[in-house]
Structure 1
Amino acid sequence: MIVDALLAVLPADRVVLDPDVMASYQHDEAEWAPSATPLAVVRPATADEVQATVRACLDHGTAVVTRGAGTGLSGGANATAGCIVLALDRMTAITEIDHLERYAVVQPGVINDDLRAAVAEVGLWYPPDPASSPWSTIGGNVATNAGGLCCVKYGVTRDYVMGMEVVTGTGEKVRLGRRTAKGVAGYDLAGLMVGSEGTLGVITEITVKLRPLQDPQRTVAGYFDSIVDAGRAVAAVAAAGLTPSALELVDKQCLLAVDAWKNMGLSVDAEVVLLGRVDTPGQIGDQEAEKMLACFDEGGATWSAVSTDQEEADALFAARRLAYPAMERLGPVLTEDVCVPKRHVPEMLSRIEKIGIAHDVVIANIAHAGDGNLHPLLITPPGDDAARARSQAAFAEIIDAALALGGTVTGEHGVGLLKMHGLVQELDPVVLAMHRAVKGALDPQGILNPGKVFDQLGSPV
């Protein structure tokens, strides 16, 4: 029996069998994504313990579902029937910060904001900052290639992963990538692991690239009467050649939900708020802020300004980060994650609005608008099965609309369980076959996160 095998190779406190505790590791934050009770939860403290777990599961043909903090929104970390959940939340060490070479070496359970705070103490910065950064782990960020508010200018997680240690689907412990600034020897296998959602290996250590601390930012805010007008302003910013350090969209429903929860005093006389930031130093930065302001006005802003109140500006960005958990308090939230070319942001926002009306579904909107990554939040009354069905139909139509505009089904949340049908729509059959070949080579027994992204045999489902 696999549980006996795990107890034979691991310290007893690493193997969790208590049903109530296991239930807390059963699923992530994806609404309505199926999950099952695992046979056990393993919480290793070292890479050797991860390797011992994978090898035991190989011997018994048992599936391994790797998990970080469980903040995912696609069901990628959900337990499957008869699996072992491998929870890496004990592996929280920042083992090295190299100021000269500008990198940090961390275990996968390190919280994003904890890494950012640690490197800031030595004058460095880790840019990827998903809205879940106070809770999500670096390992989970790597597994889904997470983005965030800064990615419009500074890139996503993949742009900062230099190397890693991985336990493969064959039970080997290997190092991928490098710690030099340059290097092109061999295939980029470390890059392949980024965004693989636990289907190709278990990441036990990550080396991430760092930057000097970010320069002070100027905040530009704009209020709009319609979400389409806000989308036009986003397109205008791109057409003007600006690269903001952040450009976020949040609608009134989200701000009201945050205010009701946190009492932040965020009453605004607008249906949609755009929040832009510029971090270019000196006079050029001032000019960029004014240029962004003009773009907001061109899009139809009813009010716009370069903020002179840093506390107020920070509060608005804090509200953007809190929007999803605030909306969750109102009922089940099915969260989309489509990304479209920036020129099509206005049209995509218009289509989302029409889809909501057609299906009688309340859709709130937040977005990393600067790079076209939209997160419509489909709100459903608790216990309303008919509303749930309408929301799921709207969810599928939003995917169709994004693909029709040359977009993708997921910008940063991953495929997991919720986007598998969309993945098959998006990728050419030849490209799908290439994915299957990689999966088969690196996880020949199909034990790593089966039933997610691809099925156990590597075939799309």
Structure 2
Amino acid sequence: MSAETSSLAAALPDGMVITDPDILAGYRQDRAFDPAAGTPLALIRPTSTDQVQTTVRWCAENRIPIITRGAGTSLSGGSTAVDGAVMISTEKMREIAVDPATRSAVVQPGLFNSEVKAAAAAEGLWYPPDPSSFEICSIGGNVATNAGGLCCVKYGVTTDYVLGLQVVLADGRAVRVGGKQLKDSAGLPLTKLFVGSEGLLGIITEVTLRLLPPQGPASTVVGVFDSVHDASRAVLAVTGEIRPAMLEFMDSVAINAVEDMLRMGLDRDAGALLVAQSDAPGAAGAQEVELIRNAFESNGAGEVFTTDDPAEGEAFTAARRAAIPAVEKLGSLLLEDVGVPLPSLPDLIDGVAKIAADNQVMISVIAHAGDGNTHPLIVFDPADTAEADRAQTAFGQIMDLAIELGGTITGEHGVGRLKKGWLPDQVGPDVMELTALIKNALDPDGLLNPGVIL
């Protein structure tokens, strides 16, 4: 223990302040694998809000930056370590209490999304937001980035389910905003301010989540297309009429990578695959399935498969969830998260193909197609300097394209450190100034998550 951190160690339970270089090395990077990641001064793994407050107050007194980390699954560098900063990992904050009477759950931030789902299901309830990484991503990280997922086209994203928060501010105060009530117009909507703020404004130590009755049985429709353009037109044909419970997209690279991994009999010759679901009850569900089938067939699907079997439907859902780790086996990835208004989805997908060709790099596109949020995955060999440079060029061009089409540089992963250079182009100088004003009001010394967004 260094002299620099001895006073913090004295204020916290024994062993909570970690300075072992081998342990710190495991917390330098998140899933963005930023090669410029720094080394933290110390790692703190609190179990309570009080311990977070103690740490934050010590950092404020000593003007030491703080990086907040959940499960480390950030794909935008949101929890990359900074030299000399204290890293607060919420991984051991894992309490949950489900209240069936109010259909809510009070959750500490370290629980995985899947664990919240399981706790809700045990009480006959459902927590809808479902990122593809739901088995390994934390609720705190979901709230910090306003995470989405596969069912968001119909059921919304994380912010739609956050009723209240406890947040530790940069001066160590703990404040509560919101609560279990479903309607609340008292004062400014501060709960919404903190959701998606990526650790810039405070450290979330407790979340009150809205739960729903269980999702009804789903019917699955799978369409196989010769081209990504035809598939993107089929998406518009569906969403112009209904909001399906799911509408997911995979291109040929992703299809083949997933088939290599799962061996489930996907068509390796397909140009694109759409996986849609309807959970509407009875006749309404049958009508939605027929509408989806017709939309697929009239927009070039060579094969359309429907099933009411839950196991078959889950197999296709699992295939879509496996796309990123499957493509990752082809090389290092730069992961995009761009979204556009739905009518511009074909233009975005066609534009990404042109960017791939122009830069001579492989780009696989998967998407939460029903809400226009795509994940172009740029595959490259980091040992090939020229290819790595072309990959970086393509990374920027894809964000430029999304902005040009009236879209966003991030639909659900957050800006983090990797995308902040493009944020001013999307939101403009006035919004950047307003963002800085809010940041400076809540964190005048700039100690919370330095290097993220701003």
> TM over 0.5: same fold?
yes
1:229–1:299: 8 Å Cα contact kept in structure 2?
yes
CA distance in 1, matches of 2:443, 2:141: 19
CA distance in 2, matches of 1:143, 1:231: 30
Structure 1 residue 266, shift from structure 2 partner: 3.5
CA distance in 1, matches of 2:439, 2:261: 43
1:42–1:86: 8 Å Cα contact kept in structure 2?
yes
* Aligned counterpart for 1:50 among listed residues 52, 55, 59: 52
CA distance in 2, matches of 1:228, 1:91: 45
Task: Report the equivalent of 2:448.
Answer: 448
2:219–2:309: 8 Å Cα contact kept in structure 1?
no
1:340–1:373: 8 Å Cα contact kept in structure 2?
yes
* Aligned counterpart for 2:85 among listed residues 83, 86, 94: 83
AA aligned to 1:5 is S
Structure 1 residue 2, shift from structure 2 partner: 4.1
Task: Report the equivalent of 1:412.
Answer: 412
Within-5 A mapping of 1:53-132: 53-94=55-96, 96-132=97-133
> What CA deviation, in whole Å up to 9, does each residue of 1:185-226 have, x standing for no partner?
011111100000001000000000000000000101001111
> What CA deviation, in whole Å up to 9, does each residue of 1:113-155 have, x standing for no partner?
1110111111100000000100000000000000000110000
1:31–1:332: 8 Å Cα contact kept in structure 2?
no
CA distance in 1, matches of 2:147, 2:335: 15
Match of 1:186, SS state, is coil
Task: Report the equivalent of 1:323.
Answer: 323
Structure 1 residue 257, shift from structure 2 partner: 2.0
AA aligned to 2:117 is R
Match of 2:345, SS state, is helix
Task: Report the equivalent of 2:22.
Answer: 20
CA distance in 2, matches of 1:110, 1:162: 17
Within-5 A mapping of 1:356-371: 356-371=356-371
Tell me whether 401-410 or 301-310 shows the greater mean CA deviation. 301-310
TM-score of the superposed pair, with normalisation by structure 1: 0.96
Structure 1 residue 303, shift from structure 2 partner: 1.1
CA distance in 2, matches of 1:24, 1:319: 29
User: Against the structure 1 CA distance between its residues 77 and 190, is the aligned structure 2 distance closer, same or farther, given a 3 Å change threshold?
Assistant: same
CA distance in 2, matches of 1:2, 1:132: 37
> What CA deviation, in whole Å up to 9, does each residue of 1:163-198 have, x standing for no partner?
011100111011111211111001111110000000
Task: Report the equivalent of 1:303.
Answer: 303
AA aligned to 1:314 is E
Task: Report the equivalent of 1:278.
Answer: 278
Match of 2:322, SS state, is helix
Within-5 A mapping of 1:287-436: 287-436=287-436
CA distance in 1, matches of 2:332, 2:42: 28
Q: Does 1:198 align with 2:199?
A: yes
Tell me whether 71-80 or 269-278 shows the greater mean CA deviation. 269-278
CA distance in 1, matches of 2:262, 2:151: 24
> What CA deviation, in whole Å up to 9, does each residue of 1:38-81 have, x standing for no partner?
11111111111101010111111000000000111000100111
1:33–1:75: 8 Å Cα contact kept in structure 2?
no
> What CA deviation, in whole Å up to 9, does each residue of 1:64-109 have, x standing for no partner?
0000001110001001111111000001111x21112110000000
CA distance in 1, matches of 2:19, 2:263: 40
CA distance in 2, matches of 1:75, 1:313: 33
> What CA deviation, in whole Å up to 9, does each residue of 1:320-351 have, x standing for no partner?
11111122222211000001001111111000
CA distance in 2, matches of 1:311, 1:418: 38
CA distance in 2, matches of 1:307, 1:123: 25
AA aligned to 2:444 is P
> What CA deviation, in whole Å up to 9, does each residue of 1:365-418 have, x standing for no partner?
110000000000000024112111101100111111111111011100000011
Task: Report the equivalent of 2:234.
Answer: 233
* Aligned counterpart for 2:8 among listed residues 6, 10, 13: 6
Structure 1 residue 268, shift from structure 2 partner: 4.4
Match of 2:301, SS state, is coil
1:31–1:333: 8 Å Cα contact kept in structure 2?
no
Structure 1 residue 267, shift from structure 2 partner: 4.4
Structure 1 residue 308, shift from structure 2 partner: 4.7
Task: Report the equivalent of 1:176.
Answer: 177
Within-5 A mapping of 1:203-222: 203-222=204-223
AA aligned to 1:288 is E
Structure 1 residue 265, shift from structure 2 partner: 4.1
1:223–1:269: 8 Å Cα contact kept in structure 2?
no
Match of 1:70, SS state, is coil
Match of 1:12, SS state, is coil
Task: Report the equivalent of 1:164.
Answer: 165
Task: Report the equivalent of 1:457.
Answer: none
Task: Report the equivalent of 1:459.
Answer: none
Aligned-residue CA RMSD in angstroms? 1.3
Match of 1:302, SS state, is strand
Tell me whether 323-332 or 81-90 shows the greater mean CA deviation. 323-332
> What CA deviation, in whole Å up to 9, does each residue of 1:278-304 have, x standing for no partner?
110001110011001111122211111
Match of 1:417, SS state, is coil
Structure 1 residue 33, shift from structure 2 partner: 5.8
CA distance in 2, matches of 1:2, 1:290: 66
CA distance in 2, matches of 1:139, 1:43: 14
CA distance in 2, matches of 1:447, 1:369: 37
Structure 1 residue 311, shift from structure 2 partner: 2.7
Gapped runs of 5+ residues in structure 2?
none
AA aligned to 1:68 is G
Match of 2:191, SS state, is helix
CA distance in 2, matches of 1:370, 1:258: 21
CA distance in 1, matches of 2:125, 2:81: 37
CA distance in 1, matches of 2:265, 2:20: 43
Match of 1:124, SS state, is coil
Structure 1 residue 264, shift from structure 2 partner: 3.8
Structure 1 residue 253, shift from structure 2 partner: 1.9
TM-score of the superposed pair, with normalisation by structure 2: 0.97
AA aligned to 1:218 is S
1:29–1:75: 8 Å Cα contact kept in structure 2?
yes
Gapped runs of 5+ residues in structure 1?
455-461
2:255–2:273: 8 Å Cα contact kept in structure 1?
no
CA distance in 1, matches of 2:304, 2:261: 26
